[in-house]
Amino acid sequence: MGENDDSEIIEHHVDEAMEKKTSQRSHTHSFLESVTSSERDGHSSTQSSHRLLAYSDALISIIATVMILPVAHTKVGEHEELKDSFQVLLATKIAVYLMTFLIVTVAWASHIRLFQVIERIDDFLALLNLACMMLITFLPYTFTLMATFPEYNLGILLFCGCVMVIGLIQAVIVIYGFSRPFLLNEQIQISQDQNYFKHHILKVIMRVPIMCLFASIFSIIFLQLSYVLLAIVIFLPYIAQSLKWCKAKALGQPLEDEPDAVLFYTYHPSEPLSKERVEAFSDGVYAIVATLLILDICEDNVPDPITVQEKFGGSLVAALRGYGPEFLAYFGSFATVGLLWFVHHSLFLHVTRASRLMGLFNSFSLAFVGGLPLAYELTTEFRHDPRNAPEAVQASCVILFFAGIFQLAIWVAALFDERRTLHPLVRYGGRDHAFMLAKLALYPCVALGTYFLTCALSEFSTSIFHLMQLGVPVAFLLLRLLVSVALALLRALLTALRKTPEGAAAAAEGGGGGGGGLMEEDEEARVPFTDVVS
């Protein structure tokens, strides 16, 4: 109710006013004419693309995480000699998972590009988009075929086929959109050279399917070359543009002023990215990953009534005790993924605008988040195994560390261009700057700490791990308090320092150098500095 409903009422009234206009018009025309004319101008049948994009994001996020399931269900062999082949198999599956995640993310990025140009949809575009989605969801399977049968060309042919059809559908969407300009982005609508935009966009879109056509032809003659070709097609634009951008940033050169076209279909790291869609995609991935273990538990961890009678003498509790580790792993991973989501959510509340580079770091973070439930499962399973337990705990810590550090990287990337991308509260010197840093740094620090602790005290590794799992949610609850206390201590220290002139000079220096590299302690200290100075 309240805010939401008020706006709904307003919208409703506006709609009614619009309707009055159209009904007045339809009084003068006949009914039949009004139906056909609406088809001709088409305006009234267009729709906001918001929900279509949300649904696409949900589909793509499921597909991105789906290849973690084969990794999860890889069974550990009992015999020592099977272990090697198991490790090879596991490594292949993990590689497939990561590559699928990357490729689906690239497909998602191109989907965002497309619908930054086409901003309104009609029924025809909605149906075309569904067809496109159907093919995207099939990509992980073709990719599995490629990885399992690298010496056959069927996988690459299927993959290229899908990508070509997706490219063609996207081209049809663009042509359809430009033939009905009211569907387009406003900037393109008012622009003089719509035709230039159209050709530029079509050229970028068609590049991929044409290269895929070559790759599929090559796959018949010389298979290895077509793999290389594919990798170039998909990743080169990103890598090339990123290198160019990094070079420009490193040399301190201003980026050259490009024409209008650059706003669409460039591969700049600073190209704008719809913040809404990053959030929707991330929510989807976090939600799937958080529930990944319950999917298995509901299916597999219900004992058979006959087994309970025969093996456990009718005691259901005794029968369920064997599944204890699974439940523990589920609650542990749900809490961790939930808290990582919470950090992500806090960060993006203060992000006003996202860039491609931030999206890239976000994807990396999500890819690691996807591995967390499995690492937790292994850790809980091996908890009484003195040989494997420390390794499993350490693997969990590494994954957790990378998931957290890439979240921190999103923020660092945002800070580079903070005027455009961040809310003033969390910019350098903003009131919540230190608090946000603490939130983002908590998981990487905890993971690092646990890692080194388990290296030192390997026999207590499981206890340390469980202690961490319990401690982190408490830390999040008390975080604002802890940060306030830390800042108060720092401030007391500073006021003591400020009485000497050297301290004041140091403070001024600290407040001035806010654009360069970024060290954690450095920053925690800098916040009160800048605030005191300004």
Q: Site residues for its own copies, window 225-244 (CB under 8 A)?
A: none
Is residue 283 close enough to count as binding its own copies by CB under 8 A?
A: yes
The binder of its own copies chosen from 149, 222, 235, 452 (CB under 8 A):
149
Q: Is 166 within 8 Å of 107 (Cβ atoms)? A: yes
Q: Site residues for its own copies, window 363-392 (CB under 8 A)?
A: none
DSSP state of 80: T
Q: Which helix (H) or strand (E) holds 121?
A: strand 120-121
What is the full DSSP assignment across 201-236?
HHHHHHHHHHHHHHHHHHHHH-HHHHHHHHHHHHHH
The smaller minimum CB distance to its own copies, of residues 116 and 170, is found at 116
The binder of its own copies chosen from 299, 384, 499, 501 (CB under 8 A):
299
The binder of its own copies chosen from 194, 241, 242, 352 (CB under 8 A):
352
Question: d(Cα 424, Cα 468) in Å, to the nearest integer?
Answer: 33
Q: Find the part of the chain contacting its own copies (CB under 8 A) among 11-19, 164-172, 394-402, 447-455.
A: 11-19
Question: d(Cα 358, Cα 281) in Å, to the nearest integer?
Answer: 14
**Could you identify the residue written with the tokens 């970024």?**
518
The binder of its own copies chosen from 77, 237, 325, 473 (CB under 8 A):
473
Q: Find the part of the chain contacting its own copies (CB under 8 A) among 159-167, 269-277, 392-400, 508-516.
A: 269-277
The smaller minimum CB distance to its own copies, of residues 271 and 454, is found at 271
The smaller minimum CB distance to its own copies, of residues 58 and 448, is found at 58
The smaller minimum CB distance to its own copies, of residues 334 and 382, is found at 334
Q: Find the part of the chain contacting its own copies (CB under 8 A) among 198-206, 244-252, 293-301, 367-375.
A: 293-301
Is residue 201 close enough to count as binding its own copies by CB under 8 A?
A: no
The binder of its own copies chosen from 140, 209, 371, 390 (CB under 8 A):
140
SS (H, E, C) 385-442: CCCCHHHHHHHHHHHHHHHHHHHHHHHHHHHCCHHHHECHHHCCCCCCHHHHHHHHHH
Question: d(Cα 159, Cα 147) in Å, to the nearest integer?
Answer: 12
Is residue 88 close enough to count as binding its own copies by CB under 8 A?
A: no
The binder of its own copies chosen from 265, 286, 401, 402 (CB under 8 A):
286
Q: Site residues for its own copies, window 37-76 (CB under 8 A)?
A: 38-39, 44-45, 47-48, 51-52, 54-55, 58-59, 62-63, 66-67, 69-70, 73
Cα angle value 336/339/343 (rounded, 5°): 135
Q: Is 351 within 8 Å of 422 (Cβ atoms)? A: yes
Q: Is 340 within 8 Å of 369 (Cβ atoms)? A: yes
Question: d(Cα 344, Cα 362) in Å, to the nearest integer?
Answer: 9
The smaller minimum CB distance to its own copies, of residues 237 and 303, is found at 303
Q: Site residues for its own copies, window 388-447 (CB under 8 A)?
A: 423-425, 430-432
Would you state the structure tokens that stand for residue 76, as one six-digit string?
Answer: 């550990």
Question: d(Cα 252, Cα 241) in Å, to the nearest integer?
Answer: 16
The smaller minimum CB distance to its own copies, of residues 5 and 310, is found at 5
Is residue 497 close enough to count as binding its own copies by CB under 8 A?
A: no
Q: Site residues for its own copies, window 89-128 (CB under 8 A)?
A: 116, 119, 123-124, 126-127
How many residues bind to its own copies according to rule CB under 8 A? 123
Q: Find the part of the chain contacting its own copies (CB under 8 A) among 78-86, 180-188, 207-215, 515-523.
A: 180-188
Is residue 301 close enough to count as binding its own copies by CB under 8 A?
A: yes
Is residue 276 close enough to count as binding its own copies by CB under 8 A?
A: yes
Is residue 305 close enough to count as binding its own copies by CB under 8 A?
A: yes
Q: Give the contacts of 15 (CB within 8 A, at least 6 positions apart).
A: none
Min separation Cβ 253 and its own copies, Å: 26
Cα-based distances in Å from 480 to 20, 86, 438, 443, 484: 53, 46, 9, 15, 6
Cα-based distances in Å from 339 to 252, 285, 344, 374, 456: 38, 14, 9, 17, 27
Question: d(Cα 369, Cα 403) in Å, to the nearest integer?
Answer: 6
Min separation Cβ 70 and its own copies, Å: 5
